[in-house]
Structure 1
Amino acid sequence: MEDADAADALDVLAHEHRIAILRALAEADEPLSFSALHARVGMRDSGKFNYHLAKLCEYYVRETGEGYELGHAGERVVSAADPAPGSRSAHRGLATTDGGTPGDGRECPVCGEPDCEKLFHVHLTPPSSYSDGRQ
């Protein structure tokens, strides 16, 4: 990834409304419709909400037929920003380099400690750059 691309991806996170959207999606059990997500976040202006959601869809959120859900990078952002042990969003869908999940008792390949909760393979590549259509 180019330095400018990484900077752009991180710049998208520099707004409290966008972090609130990511957290609302992390707390959801299933994809959320636009209106359900808007209600959970509690922003008054739906136009501004739509603007912030669209920015997140460039890197962190994906839109499916059922609604909006966190993408791979979005899950990692939420986990890194709010890694409270035992919280539903802390480890949802995460994997370490050895295929385990954080907190499963395996030793960390970096420091050798069990349950160190380090995150690995954070990709900030926008989904649109994949040639195979994955997100």
Structure 2
Amino acid sequence: MTYGTEPSMDALTVLGNEIRMSILRELADAEESLSFTELRERVGIRDTGKFNYHLTKLCEYFVRQTESGYELGHAGTRVITAANPTASSEDGAGNDDSACPVCGERDCEKLFHVHLTPGSF
């Protein structure tokens, strides 16, 4: 049986595009929400239709739109943390460079961690 595999596979597929990962990185670097135009310019995409397409895909899972613009959602923050584990140790939060910022295990090589709750099958 393949219960619950479709949504997570869709989310992983969304991350398989460099423009989308650039959007996530720019939102992670921003100190506040970014407008559509600010975000598009930071990512360096001139075609607004193309940029809108990719941003819309991210909004399904990783980015949220607020009144003031776009910002990372919880899942987007987790992706950025997992993709760049040294970021959490640069601010002094992590003392062990080989510890995973998500699970805390030494030398963890997982890019994504799946947490299942009882009854979610």
Category of TM-score, reference length = shorter chain = 0.7 to 0.9
1:63-91 superposed Cα distances (whole Å, 9 cap, x missing partner)? 0011000000000101111222316xxx9
**Is structure 2 residue 36 aligned with structure 1 residue 8?**
no
Percent identity reads 51
Q: Counterpart of 2:46 in 1: which secondary structure? A: coil
Counterpart position of 2:35: 33
Distance in 2, Cα, partners of 1:17 & 1:118: 24
Cα RMSD after superposing both structures: 2.6
C-alpha contact (below 8 Å) 1:31/1:69 kept by paired residues: yes
**TM-score, with length taken from structure 2:** 0.75
Distance in 1, Cα, partners of 2:55 & 2:97: 36
Distance in 2, Cα, partners of 1:73 & 1:8: 14
1:75-130 superposed Cα distances (whole Å, 9 cap, x missing partner)? 0101111222316xxx9xxxxxxxxxx62x6xxxxxxx89823315x679xxxxxx
**TM-score, with length taken from structure 1:** 0.67
1:28 Cα deviation after fit: 0.1
Higher relative contact order (CA 8 A, sep 6+): 1
Q: Counterpart of 2:99 in 1: which secondary structure? A: coil
What one-letter code is carried by the residue in structure 2 that aligns with 1:34?
Answer: F
Distance in 2, Cα, partners of 1:29 & 1:61: 15
Higher-helix-fraction structure: 2
Q: Pairwise mapping of residues 1-135 of structure 1 onto structure 2 (< 5 A)?
A: 2-84=4-86, 85-86=89-90, 103=94, 116-120=99-103
Distance change in 2, residues 1:23/1:69 (3 Å): same
Segments of 4+ moved more than 6 angstroms: none
Residue segments in structure 2 that go unaligned for 5+ positions in a row: 104-112, 116-121
C-alpha contact (below 8 Å) 1:73/1:123 kept by paired residues: no
